[in-house]
A = this chain, B = another copy of it.
Amino acid sequence: MFTVRIQSAPFDAACEAAALSDGRQDVGALVTFTGLCRADDAAPEAGGRLVALTLEHYPGMAEEEIARHVEEARRRWPLMGATVIHRHGRIVPGEPIVLVVTASAHRGAAFAAAEFLMDWLKTSAPFWKQEEREAATGWVDAKAADDDAAGRWDPLP
């Protein structure tokens, strides 16, 4: 089962993970990654405490771009299922933003595929975070570290 969803509502990570293994006897490894909105205290001159993130996305392309990377993950590793959910809209600290679940017979494939999907989500899924701080609002800059993380996956021939 391979699922990609873009939604504003929160998701139930447990329920999504269970859906990939319940009733099956061939899944040996299930990896669940949840990315959450962190409270972060910037200096007052940098806007102060984070109040919320608002995620803008490119409807249509977001689903398609993530689905392309899920297909790529399936070419690279023997996956029995994967679920990717990315939220948009306003999200406050402590709330989940993104979920990646991968199911495989063995842990190596499940871990690698989950990291691969997260690295590509960060750099190529068309989402943009706007920070709402106590004293300022602004767009989050892309991180070179995320480009580096995505770059570690060599292209398949």
Contact = CB atoms under 8 A, between A and B. Distances in A.
| Range class of the A interface residue count | 20 to 34
Copies of this protein in the complex? 2
A38 B29 CA distance: 9
Nearest to A34: B30
A28 B33 contact: no
Interface of A: 13-15, 17-18, 21, 23-39, 93-94, 105, 107-108, 110-111, 114-115, 118, 149
A-side interface mostly: mixed
17 contacts: A13-B14, A14-B14, A14-B18, A21-B34, A21-B94, A25-B37, A25-B38, A25-B39, A26-B38, A27-B38, A28-B35, A28-B38, A29-B35, A30-B33, A30-B34, A30-B36, A107-B118
